[in-house]
Amino acid sequence: MAAKSLIPNLFLSLIFSISTTTHSYILVPQPQSQPCKELIFFFHNILYKGNNKNNATSAIVGVSDWGTRETGSFSMIPSL
């Protein structure tokens, strides 16, 4: 008697699990996002010099001690 009730219970639980997983994947159309209409470029030229960490927005990368620190330097700006 236990085998007779086990098979229909397994079948019903299989059908139930399949029906719940298929309903969770119904595709809902997502609204298309609109592109930006303006681009703002903000340049803040306060470089990190070793002692101004609270106000510096960038740091010079790969400049030797005798090199210039303004023209042609590559700055790393962290995006916080």
22-53: per-residue pLDDT in tens?
544 556 676 777 776 776 666 666 666 667 66
Q: Is residue 59 helix, strand or coil?
A: strand
- The confidence score (pLDDT) of residue 79 equals 54
Q: What domain range is 45 assigned to?
A: 37-80
* Average pLDDT of the chain, as a whole number: 65
Calpha distance 17→62 (Å, rounded):
60
> Is 23 part of a structural domain of the chain?
no
> Is 60 part of a structural domain of the chain?
yes
pLDDT over 70 at 9, yes or no? yes
> Is 15 part of a structural domain of the chain?
no
- The confidence score (pLDDT) of residue 33 equals 77
Calpha distance 75→9 (Å, rounded):
67
Rounded to the nearest 10°, the torsion over CA 24, 25, 30, 36 is: 100
Question: Who wins on pLDDT, 60 or 54?
Answer: 54
Q: Domain count for the chain, please give it.
A: 1
> Is 31 part of a structural domain of the chain?
no
